[in-house]
Amino acid sequence: MTNYTVTLKKPMSSIQKGHEWSEALPDKWFETKKYHFDGHEFGPIGGKSDFTLFWYPKTYKNAIELLYDMKKKKRINSMKNTVFSIMIYD
């Protein structure tokens, strides 16, 4: 079975700022079971830290749809300085 992971990462000075940033992102990325939002990670602690969000879509179509939507929103303020990616595991 093939598994998909979509990540969205942004440099943050604190975990609190990361939570505030994630709340400014489109609700549909988090509300729908289609994308299967799974949580976040913050680190490394001290120095430059990244706040990373993780989704585990069940299908390739859903993973690409989410990634494409992130790309379309790249110009909005909350998406500046972000890196998004997809990983495919067999």
**How far apart, in whole angstroms, are the C-alpha atoms of residue 24 and residue 49?**
19
Q: Taking the domains of the chain in order of start, what are their residue ranges? A: 7-49+58-80
Query: What CA–CA distances, in Å, run from 74 to 16, 52, 78?
Result: 22, 16, 8
Sequence-ordered list of residues with C-beta below 8 angstroms from that of 12, at least 6 positions apart, any chain: 18, 21, 42, 49, 50, 51
Are 61 and 6 in contact by the 8 Å Cβ rule? The answer is no
Give the pLDDT of the chain (90 residues) as one tens digit per residue: 899 999 999 999 999 999 999 999 999 999 878 999 999 999 987 778 999 999 999 999 999 999 999 999 988 888 999 999 999 998
Q: Which residues contact 31 (CB under 8 A, 6 or more apart)?
A: none
